[in-house]
Amino acid sequence: MSFGAWLVFAGFWVVFVTSPGPNAVNCIETGMRERLPRALWAVAGILTQALLFLILSAVGVTALITASPVAFEAAKVAGAAVLVWLGIRTWRAAGRPVAESAAAGRGSIWLRAFLIATINPKSVAGYLAAFSQFVEPGVPIAAQMGVIVPTALTITAMSYTTYTALGAWLGARALSAVTQTWVRRGLAACFLLYGIALAATALPGVG
């Protein structure tokens, strides 16, 4: 990959992972609830999913998924259901003060972030775009992966660490119980809206 192509890819990836979505919402909510450094296990979950999808994209699996409309739409419906469920669960938990909420285990934080990242159709579209637009056909894929993977993972880590730190900062502020409740309910509403929007694009006759 030439330096110019790398710059274009890096710019695309910055936009891809910094635009607000379910991953960002989950990182902020986890940061508020768990604080640093425990909340960074959410970032680890996203990085695991990113590495997995980069590898799958390199071998053409994501292209096969998007080429099967039924499978892709089914995945979107399942993802919408999970996001709505997370929204309801987060809304109900928002009524409890953060200090009184039981700390989640590291594995639970990691798994939740991994699943949210995996069910996000933006992930499939983004990784497919990365490999259809930026991989040079005349260059061995292994050599290009040696550039693409560390670039993508570094930018991804920086973006979602920032979102998590923002959540931890909000959680550490001397906010009133009412304010914290409504901030967390606002994040829960984001999960619900993402889920409804995703369902609207997946179900025929909706949207």
The pLDDT tens digits for 95-132 are 665 554 556 688 899 999 998 888 776 666 667 666 66
The average confidence (pLDDT) of the chain is 76
More confident site: 174 or 167: 167
C-alpha triplet 156, 22, 123: angle, nearest 5°: 55
Output the pLDDT for position 96. Answer: 63
Query: Tens digit of pLDDT for each residue in 189-205?
Result: 776 776 777 677 656 55
Q: Look at residue 61 and tell me whether its pLDDT is greater than 80.
A: no
Query: Tens digit of pLDDT for each residue in 125-146?
Result: 667 666 666 666 666 767 778 8
Task: Give me Rg for the CA atoms of the chain.
Answer: 18
Q: Look at residue 54 and tell me whether its pLDDT is greater than 90.
A: no
Output the pLDDT for position 146. Answer: 85
DSSP string, the chain: --HHHHHHHHHHHHHHHHS-SHHHHHHHHHHHHH-TTTTHHHHHHHHHHHHHHHHHHHTTHHHHHHH-HHHHHHHHHHHHHHHHHHHHHHHHHTTS-GGGSPPPPHHHHHHHHHHHHHH-HHHHHHHHHHHHHS--TTS-HHHHHHHHHHHHHHHHHHHHHHHHHHHHHHHHS---HHHHHHHHHHHHHHHHHHHHHHHHHHSTT--
> What is the C-alpha separation between 189 and 84, in angstroms, rounded?
9
Tokens standing for 35? 């604080």
Lowest mean pLDDT among 88-97, 152-161, 184-193: 88-97
pTM higher than 0.75, yes or no? no
